[in-house]
Amino acid sequence: MLLEIKDLGIAYGKAEPVVRHVSFTLDQGEILAIVGESGSGKTTVIRAIQHVLPGGGHIAEGTMIFEGEDTRKQSAEKHRSLDGKDVSMIFQDSGAMMNPIRPIGVQFREYLALHGMTDEKEAHQRMVDMLSMVRLPDPEQILKSYTFELSGGMRQRVGIAMAMAFHPKLLLADEPTSALDVTTQAAIVKEMMEVRKKMNTAIIIVTHNMGVAAYMADRIMVMRQGRVVEYGKAEDVIYHPKEDYTKMLLAAVPVLGGETA
């Protein structure tokens, strides 16, 4: 088992936990979708997994076991050594996470060097290989480009390429398609599925789109107001939901051609 979370609680400052009683498991190569409305705690959970909670956020209770080790007992240095290598994250708008006045290649190379790849030739080849893997045309030109010269979908592909550069065991994706048009969303989802297939990478994707969750996930966890309201195999949650909130989310998925009363 790659990741096991038991009764996780997350708080900010000295206040009571805003997320409580979150439990799930994840095997190598498995995809978990965390779904729910804005403010339900989805992003808070995956940020806790990577130990990058903002504003005094911390794990207040529960256990988080990654590859047999309780990450709450690990040092900050150990967390940094895992981030970007064994555990990596794709943000909602990867372009916003990059410096707009520096070329993509400079930033990508610095990211590789930060994690130990200092050989210029090796780093360049890795960048070209990763950009090719996510099907970006002319990787050499992409490396010379600035973020404002790329479309939203292209920036997301760059984000995926950087996140996958060290073939992580776990990829955390924070609503990676929500700011994109429908056609680009489909392409990004397809690329992530290919990454899972090629590298056997486990993925936790945060989304409010039950359609994306149904297509991608092996398991689905539904959250509301900081609590898990439903969790199980994707087909069970989609076709046999137990909770009214899950049924409401499923009812909100658009149907091609609409439906007449």
Beta strand ranges found along 13-131 (DSSP E) = 19-26, 31-35, 57-66, 69-70, 87-90
C-beta neighbour count of 110 within 10 angstroms: 12
The single-letter DSSP state of residue 169 is S
Tell me how far apart the terminal alpha carbons of the chain are, to the nearest angstrom.
Answer: 47
Positive or negative torsion for Cα 7, 92, 52, 88: positive
What is the reported pLDDT for 255? 66
Closest to 39 in 3D by CA, of 226, 179, 205:
226
**Global pTM exceeds 0.85:** yes
- Specify burial of residue 161 (Cβ count, 10 A radius: 0-12, 13-18, 19+): buried
Structure tokens at 260: 């007449």
Rounded Cα–Cα distance for residues 246 and 138 (Å) = 43
What is the reported pLDDT for 179? 67
Closest to 213 in 3D by CA, of 15, 46, 31, 10:
31
Largest CA distance in the chain: 64
Positive or negative torsion for Cα 34, 40, 46, 49: negative
How would you write the pLDDT of the chain (261 residues) with one tens digit per residue?
999 999 999 999 989 999 999 999 999 999 999 999 999 999 999 999 988 898 889 999 999 999 999 988 887 777 776 777 789 988 887 777 899 999 999 999 999 998 889 999 999 999 999 999 888 999 999 999 999 999 888 998 898 889 888 888 999 999 887 767 788 788 888 888 888 888 899 999 999 888 889 999 999 999 999 999 999 999 999 999 999 999 999 988 876 555 544
Contact criterion met (CB below 8 Å) for 33 and 212:
yes
Give every CB contact of residue 155 below 8 A, 6+ residues apart in sequence: 93, 94, 95, 98, 147
Pairing outcome for strands 219-224 and 202-207: unpaired
What is the reported pLDDT for 257? 58
What is the reported pLDDT for 119? 94
Closest to 221 in 3D by CA, of 45, 101, 71:
45
CA trace torsion 112, 118, 123, 124 (10° rounding): 120
pLDDT tens, position by position, 150-205: 988 899 889 888 988 888 899 999 988 776 778 878 888 888 888 888 889 999 99
